[in-house]
Structure 1
Amino acid sequence: MTARRVGLSVAVAFLAFIALAAIFPDLLATHDPLRTDVRAALQAPGGEHLFGTDQSGRDVFSRVVHGAGRSVGIGLLATALAVGIGLALGSLSGVAPRSVDALTMRATDILLAFPEFLIALIVVAVLGPGSVNVAIAVTIAAVPVYIRLARTQTRTLRIAEHVEAARILGVGPVRTFTRHVMPGVLGSLSVLATIGIGSSILAAAGLSFLGLGPSEPAPEWGLMLSGGRNVLGRAWWISVFPGLAITLTVISATVVGRALRARAEGRRA
């Protein structure tokens, strides 16, 4: 087994663990993530508290486990919405009149000129803090990439041989588009979305770190990372373990996404 295959296997296994933590956190958590115990505050990692405790005596490991659902959930929701919006707008742009297509692409180019996190930051600053607004902001920031890819794939597939054959056989334009073009576009977007999930999780965590996401005492990786920065010198575990969860999740999603893209392009992963 090559090193790449080992890395891919580890990435898939880690993502499966994160999925388990997100869906069934009580199976893994050892304590109530919201329960405070001032007498146990700032305990170092040990037998009773695997990842130590925070300033309020809450178990960091349990909060990291329960935070997976919120952090990964925001990233998945934002990516799914971005794919759906990008599929609709990009596909329509690919078959629209030249003036509409040019206008859509110029607006997309303007958004692509700015970093995704900056766009998300501006949007959430306008909408206000909160999990829903963070998901909306990350969605808006991610949409332009999917619009461009959907438009490119639509223009490529609409002149493909099997699409031309469907037209010759008398299949209507709407049916041809929905049955022979859209599935191919969606397949390409799905591969890109696998990589985009990691970026969305990272962006959502960054907004939460700045205080624009969920509020205390909600367990969320970015919020936990921010909560431990003032005591990093004497209680490093409060920030390090949520930071590791974010880092490893993003890396694993990227590894899996690149492998899927390589397979879709006919290359070796």
Structure 2
Amino acid sequence: MKVAVLSGKGGTGKTLVAVNLAAAAEKCTYIDADVEAPNGYLFFKPTETQSRNVTVKIPYVDDLKCTGCRKCVEFCKFNALAYIHNRLMVFEDICHSCGGCLLVCPENALNEKEKPIGEIVTGNSQSVSLKLGKMNLGESTGVPIIKALLEDIQDPVVIDGPPGSACTVMETIKNVDYCVLVAEPTEFGKHNLAMVHELLKGYGKPFGVVLNKTTDQDNPSKEYCTEENIPILMEIPYDEKLGRLNSEGLIAVREDVHYKTLFEQLYQKIEIGGRS
């Protein structure tokens, strides 16, 4: 089973849930697809790490062949090409690597080169295998890194997804079996939960919600789940001990029997939900 853990924004406890869910599943692959700010490794502290670059193809110009027809400029909807002072310019940072400019060039004046946009790091932590993606600063999208992360993976898999509902999230959930949404008990948390909920409805993916940092006070996120008939998989109370473990980069499942039991039960509920 492939499980994606999502949230409408950062800071809800998404990584807390993803890390502990992977640890509770024991023999599991944990994938950190939050490529702009991966931090799962801070908890798992992987050993035997290896890394490899992720590259994309971007165009470069043969000035001797370019006649300045501007067909490639007109084609590019991302404005990554411009003809300035009798020369074709390529703005690499906003190129989306679609390759269309090469196809429309009548003079074959455009070719492609590899550009590194990030890296994938792999490692191990007890019975958990780790894969995490890191996007280089200034890059326009992490989608190619997420695609590379999700290649050749074997079940069971827990994916720590990017926050929000952008293209990176859509790429993350494309082939998963179940999605876990993590929400905090605030109006802002409710708003962002609704945003991701709308995305998942469009994909037809089974999902449930983990309510984090719950107290005896009103919980707008819980109210939203009730109104929308969204299954609540687990409520994690606001707990000073859990907060301390998390701040010290420790995995609660490996430190506390109570939380080991709770996350094992959560994984069982997800397995049932993914099969139904």
Band the TM-score falls in, shorter-chain normalisation: under 0.3
- Structure with more of its chain in helix, by fraction: 1
- Structure with more of its chain in strand, by fraction: 2
* Structure number with higher relative contact order (C-alpha < 8 Å, ≥ 6 residues apart): 2
TM-score by length of 2: 0.22
